[in-house]
Every structure is written in structure tokens, then in C-alpha cells.
Amino acid sequence: MSAIKIHTDTVGGLTIKHLVKALGSAAEPKSVNWVKDQLPRSLLPKPSSQAGPMVEALLESAVQASQVWKYGKPDKALYWHSAPKVWVQRCLLEKLTGGVKTRSGVIGPVVKLATVEGLIPKSHVEAALKELIDEGRILVHPAYIGGRAKLLSVRPADPADYLTRVMEQLSQKLHVSPSDLTAIAAKLTLEDSPPEGARPAAPMPHSEGMGHVGTREVENSSPPSISSEEARHRILDAMLDVNPAAESGDIVSLRELRERLDNSLDKVSFDQAILELAAQEKIALHRDDFASTKTDAEREVLVRDEQGKFYNVVSLRTHS
């Protein structure tokens, strides 16, 4: 802790609101120096050597006022805009992005994070995971065939995951290449297909008075065009539907938010509205640092800005 002791929300022209606003764009707890670098130079004291201690002292006042939360070890303190439970749940959700893991495979890495270890007990991490499961934001799937540990995911169970695992096991056990197994599986599928010349299934009858549903009607079934203002309103409302805790600063997955609005907003309208809300400082976008490792299909559900950065989660800005 610095030698300067300040128990106020204002120092010169610098206020706690400035610090909260700076931290609002942070995807994770940040250091005093990081916060200082986000502030306008006109608000910082001269000489510059006093800036760090002043920002740190004001951050401590913000912590006491429950407007900012403190993380990490005392000698390497980090600060963030939301409570520890929000940070822990965000870490748990990120560990499950793009795949499935066992319970220990999710909890273990989160407990070892520098921002958690020694500050947030493992029991709190487990409680945060249980809450996500109870809320349906993390799903529990059956164990792989031959395994015992149930699996966790943010998506419904995908048979392809289980089939891929079985193919890998067969390949190792029978010393058969995966390509050979794939060829065998394709052959079995062909043998189960209906014989050539079999009568095709009758078309689905259409309802009386509805007429034939042709290609033109299907093409026109895409979400109707709406104004950008309406799109922004729908996104803000949907954030609270997806996660009621978003009102207090909790994060919302852009994938879940996109799925909730899939019938009313197309991708272009959704992405544009998200970026507009961020520019208006109504929401904070959190960058996906692993976007480069994802497939094109996985990146499709992210939001990309003009600088080419990808974002996977969003949170409401709770302070002006």
C-alpha cells in the first residue's frame, strides 16, 4: 500500500468515477499502472511520480465504497469493476469455450489463476460453478463411453464429440488409422441406405389455404429489417433475459445473446448494434484472446470491430 492515505472519492480533478469508467473496459482485473495509463493526463498530478500512489489510494477508497473490487496478492494488487464471483464465473465459462471438460478440468485451472489463488477459496469457485449449472448456463453431459467423469459444456451435448472419442479409442486399440475407420463407417452407412430406385418420401402436405411453400417464401423468412435504435433496445433487453445478473455487471455470452435474438436480428444488424452500444458506452466488450485458434464457424458467432479484434462476451456498464 502507498504512503498516501486518502478516504474520499475525489482528489484534485480525479474521481472514483474516472477509475470505474477506466476499469469498465477491462476484461480482467488490472494493475494500478494499467488504470493510470487509461486516465487523461490532465487529471494526473505533477510530478508524474505522484500519479501512481494517488491512483492507488483512490482505488483503495473505491474498494472501501464497494465500487471497485481488489484481487491478487497484497504486494501485487489488481482491481476490477465487478465482484469476485463475477470474475470467477467468467473464468469458468471461458474454460468451456469451444469444448467440453471434466469438473476438475474446469475448476483446477481457475483455482490456480494468479487473481484467485490465495484470495478466493476453492469452495467459492465450486459454489460459483454450481450456480452456473443451476442457472443452466453450464450444462452437464454424460461421461464418455468407458469413462466415469461427467462432462461440462456451455452447449448441448454433441454426438460428434462422443463419436470422435470412440473413433480415437478404436484407432489406438485396433492399430487402425482414423482414415480407415472413417472409410469403414461410410461403407456401413451406405449399406444401410435405401436401395436405388426406392420410392421417395411424399412431400409434406401444406395447410389448407396456405398454398405451396416455395423457395421464395423460405428466402423471405429471414428476420425482418428493423431500425438500429430498435436493435439496440432488443439487445439490452435480451442481455437481462439471458442473464438477470447482467444488471449488476455480470457478463453475457455473445453466442447466447445472438441465439436469443436469432429470429429478430440478422448477424449484420446484431454486430452493428453491439458496436454502436459499445461506442455509446452503454456496454463493455471483452476481447476473445483465442479467436485466432478458432475455426471460421466458431468465429462467426463472435463480434468483430473495424480493427479486426474479436469479442466473445459483453457486460452492461453499471456506472457512468
Residue 183 is assigned to a structural domain of this protein: no
Residue 203 is assigned to a structural domain of this protein: no
Element (H, E) at 140: strand 139-141
The packing angle between helices 103-111 and 84-95, to 10°, is 130
pLDDT digits (tens, 9 = 90+) for 28-59: 888 899 999 988 888 887 777 788 888 888 89
Q: How far apart (Å, rounded) are the C-alpha atoms in residues 94 and 63? A: 26
Distances (CA, A) of 63 to 51, 75, 78, 113: 18, 16, 11, 21
Cell 484472446, residue located: 289
Residue 74 is assigned to a structural domain of this protein: yes
Q: How far apart (Å, rounded) are the C-alpha atoms in residues 85 and 68? A: 13
Residue 288 is assigned to a structural domain of this protein: yes
Looking at the fold, whether 69 and 101 belong to one and the same domain comes out as: no
Over residues 299-314, the mean pLDDT reads: 88
Identify the domain boundary among 131, 147, 175: 175
Residues composing the chain: 320
Element (H, E) at 252: strand 251-253
Residue 180 is assigned to a structural domain of this protein: no
Identify the domain boundary among 175, 197, 215: 175
The tally of domains found in the chain comes to 3
Looking at the fold, whether 15 and 26 belong to one and the same domain comes out as: yes
Q: How confident is the model at residue 5 (pLDDT cuts 50, 70, 90)?
A: very low
Looking at the fold, whether 294 and 306 belong to one and the same domain comes out as: yes
Which among 118, 140, 115, 120 has a CA at the least distance from the CA of 130?
Answer: 140
Q: How confident is the model at residue 199 (pLDDT cuts 50, 70, 90)?
A: low
Q: Is the pLDDT of residue 253 over 90?
A: no
Pairwise pLDDT comparison (103 vs 296), residue with the higher score: 103
Looking at the fold, whether 302 and 265 belong to one and the same domain comes out as: yes
Looking at the fold, whether 76 and 97 belong to one and the same domain comes out as: no
pLDDT at 271: 93
Residue 207 is assigned to a structural domain of this protein: no
pLDDT digits (tens, 9 = 90+) for 170-193: 888 888 787 787 777 777 766 655
CATH number of domain containing 163 = 1.10.10.10
Looking at the fold, whether 112 and 55 belong to one and the same domain comes out as: no
Residue 210 is assigned to a structural domain of this protein: no
Looking at the fold, whether 99 and 61 belong to one and the same domain comes out as: no
Which residues fall within 8 angstroms of residue 277, CB to CB, at 6 or more apart? 232, 235, 236, 283
The partner residues of 265 in beta bridges, in order of sequence, read: none
25 neighbors 81 (Cβ within 8 angstroms): no
Over residues 256-270, the mean pLDDT reads: 86
User: Mean pLDDT over all residues of the chain?
Assistant: 79
Identify the domain boundary among 23, 55, 80: 80
Pairwise pLDDT comparison (60 vs 98), residue with the higher score: 60
Looking at the fold, whether 98 and 71 belong to one and the same domain comes out as: no
Read off the pTM: 0.51
**Domain span at residue 288?**
228-316
